[in-house]
Amino acid sequence: MRFLHDSLPQRICFGSGEAAASLQREIANLRASKVMVIAAKAEADLAESITTNLPVALRHDDVVMHVPVEVAERARQAAADNDIDALVSVGGGSTTGLAKAIAMATGLPIVAVPTTYAGSEATPVWGLTEGARKTTGVDRRVLPRVIIYDAALTLTLPVSMSVASGLNALAHCVDSMWAPNADPINSAFAAEGIRSLQAGLQKVVAEPAGIEGREHALYAAYLSAVAFASAGSGLHHKICHVLGGAYNLPHAQTHATVLPYVLAFNAPAAPEAERRIAGAFGTTLAIDGLQDLRRELDAPRALRDYGFTEDAIPAAADAILPAVPPSNPRPVTADDLRRLLRAAWSGTDPREAI
Ligand code: NAD
């Protein structure tokens, strides 16, 4: 066994109903006195309810998915105008992403309070979009210093969004099994992430107002993001990156839809990943575990339901091909990608189509 693994320094505060108290303690630890609270309009009340005891200098709700550069620039300017010394983000990956865009330019510390399972809070990856082009990069300065996980804040996340977001986290786990920097530590995080997402999402769907399922899913979201941050982007993330950036498809639903097709494609060539994923699901075959769970959750099924059109398939396949990691367990051709995208577009059973 030989590998190189970077662990990222972050403090994780996990406790339902404890976000306000944790925030107060952590902002005091940072000796911050001019806090910028970032939350989308839809989460503004939620953010206000947990930040009333902070030294808030600015509340910022100009949040847009995939962080357009002009949105990032306005937020950076607002932070500078108000002499901000710490950032608190309350929301999903879009909100965390905006805090990261400010931190990238200023070095300001972020305390992230995630309210979806996107996992951006546990990665040093930033993303910006300019026109239809999404650029991502890695910068340690954007890694939040502190993450505050409070599952009570996710009770308002609709079940369908919880499922899509949870499957986005599951995609981090699965893809990290064969991503360029896959290693046994990432795989251990990912396997526990799959187990916990399976149990958590089943509970969220059965009892949306219950806290236990939400806690499992949130805990798993962290594990999945740690695995992804360390392993890097595998075939699945490369495909979704192109689809999200060039066709403006919704992030979580795109990941939820594409994942079974990538798993069906790669798993036969990746026996160790297949064994670990199937083991985590408790099934003989990994793809059966994923598809059983997707059926139970009534998961997003076809890319055509999210605005992707059949005539876009050839160009999308051509755009993805150069980004495919050379270390992918199975060689990938443009034909393979067209077949995979067509199956994901139509929603046919990946066990038959791939
Ligand atoms: P999002 O942040 O856009 O949130 C999705 C929707 O859920 C929004 O309408 C939001 O208002 C709503 N919402 C969020 N929390 C809620 C709550 N508790 N109750 C009710 N509604 C709530 O989407 P997302 O899927 O969380 O994140 C997607 C973005 O994050 C993408 O831009 C993606 O690229 C980025 N991302 C980045 C990384 C990274 O490592 N940098 C990782 C994952 C995702």
**For the segment 175-219, what is each residue's pLDDT rounded down to a tens digit?**
999 999 999 999 999 999 999 999 999 999 999 999 999 999 999
**Residue % of the chain over a pLDDT of 90:** 95
Reference 103, options 201, 26, 36; nearest CA is 36
**Mean pLDDT computed over 230-249:** 93
* Residue 59: strand pairing partners: 37
CA of 234 relative to ligand 1 center, distance in Å? 21
Tens digits of residue pLDDT in 94-114: 999 999 999 999 999 999 999
Q: Looking at residue 323, what is its pLDDT? A: 97
Which residue lies with its CA nearest to atom 11 of ligand 1?
42
Q: Between β-strands 110-114 and 146-149, what pairing exists: parallel, antiparallel or unpaired? A: parallel
- In order of 45, 52, 69, 148, 153, the CA distances from 20 in angstroms are 13, 8, 31, 9, 11
Q: Looking at residue 256, what is its pLDDT? A: 98
Judge if the beta carbon of residue 233 lies within 6 A of ligand 1.
Answer: no
Whether residue 119 is predicted with pLDDT greater than 90 in this model: the reply is yes
Judge if the beta carbon of residue 129 lies within 6 A of ligand 1.
Answer: no
Whether residue 310 is predicted with pLDDT greater than 90 in this model: the reply is yes
Whether residue 79 is predicted with pLDDT greater than 80 in this model: the reply is yes
42 C-beta neighbours (distance < 10 Å), count: 14
Confidence of residue 133 (pLDDT cuts 50, 70, 90): confident
**Mean pLDDT computed over 230-256:** 94
Tens digits of residue pLDDT in 41-52: 999 999 999 999
Average pLDDT, the chain: 97
Judge if the beta carbon of residue 230 lies within 6 A of ligand 1.
Answer: no
Q: In angstroms, rounded to a whole number, what is the distance separating the alpha carbons of residues 85 and 105?
A: 13
Q: Between β-strands 56-60 and 125-130, what pairing exists: parallel, antiparallel or unpaired? A: unpaired
Confidence of residue 134 (pLDDT cuts 50, 70, 90): confident
Judge if the beta carbon of residue 157 lies within 6 A of ligand 1.
Answer: yes
Give the predicted TM-score (pTM) of the model. 0.97
Confidence of residue 62 (pLDDT cuts 50, 70, 90): very high
Judge if the beta carbon of residue 232 lies within 6 A of ligand 1.
Answer: no
Length of the chain: 354
